């Protein structure tokens, strides 16, 4: 039976492909979702893929993942630096969480470097563009199947 996996995307990620392509590239969120669905099928994940510009909706999805004992891959976007509420929701989750960012947030402006939500994550990937999603899925798949290294 396939394991449920939530991939959650925060504010403005619906604008990928149009928003600051010099930073984020031309890939769109629907293209990322399509790739994630193909990888999910290969890895036997039952995928929920969502994007919201509303903090409360993302928190609701984290709660659903908690209720379903599902791991989470999250790109909290701009909420990563300021959302105590999202951090608290992620922190209570007892399944692996991987935070992803398309850009290398540590090489960007100072306001992007202090990541609150990352402290709740089991894993973290940034700077590889849209490939961070597949990398996170494969890392989670290896970990959940017992082939991955434990992370502190």
In the chain, the domains with their CATH numbers are 3-144 (3.40.50.9100)
- Give the integer Cα–Cα distance in Å for 73 and 5: 8
What are the tokens at 68? 């379903």
What's the sign of the alpha-carbon dihedral 136, 16, 62, 118?
positive
101 is catalytic: yes
- Give the integer Cα–Cα distance in Å for 27 and 20: 11
24 is catalytic: yes
Q: Which residues pair with 48 in a beta bridge?
A: 6
Please pick, among 24, 87, 93, 143, the residue that the annotation labels catalytic.
Answer: 24
Percentage of the chain lying above the pLDDT 70 cut: 91
The vertex-60 CA angle with 144 and 106, nearest 5°, equals 65
Please pick, among 87, 93, 101, 133, the residue that the annotation labels catalytic.
Answer: 101
Ranges 4-13, 16-25, 30-39, 122-131: which has the least confidence: 16-25
What is the per-residue pLDDT across 89-107, written as a single tens digit (0 to 9) for each?
999 999 999 999 998 888 7
**81 is an annotated ligand-binding site residue:** no
pLDDT at 149: 57
| Confidence grade of residue 151 (pLDDT, cut at 50, 70, 90) | low
- Give the integer Cα–Cα distance in Å for 61 and 57: 6
What is the per-residue pLDDT across 22-70, written as a single tens digit (0 to 9) for each?
888 899 999 999 999 999 999 999 999 999 999 999 999 999 999 999 9
Burial class (CB in 10 A: 0-12, 13-18, 19+), 7: buried
């Amino acid at each position: 039976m396939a394991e449920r996996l939530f991939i959650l995307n925060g504010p403005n990620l619906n604008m990928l492909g149009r928003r600051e392509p010099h930073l984020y590239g031309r890939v769109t969120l629907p293209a990322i979702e399509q790739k994630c669905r193909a990888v999910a099928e290969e890895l036997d994940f039952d995928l929920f893929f969502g994007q919201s510009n509303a903090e409360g909706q993302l928190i609701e999805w984290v709660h659903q993942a908690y209720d379903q004992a599902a791991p989470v891959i999250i790109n909290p976007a701009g909420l990563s630096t300021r959302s105590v509420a999202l951090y608290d929701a992620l922190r209570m989750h007892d399944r692996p969480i991987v935070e992803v960012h398309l850009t290398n947030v540590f090489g960007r402006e100072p306001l992007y470097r202090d990541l609150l939500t990352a402290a709740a994550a089991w894993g973290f990937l940034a700077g590889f563009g849209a490939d961070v999603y597949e990398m996170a899925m494969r890392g989670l798949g290896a970990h959940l199947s017992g082939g991955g290294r434990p992370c502190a």
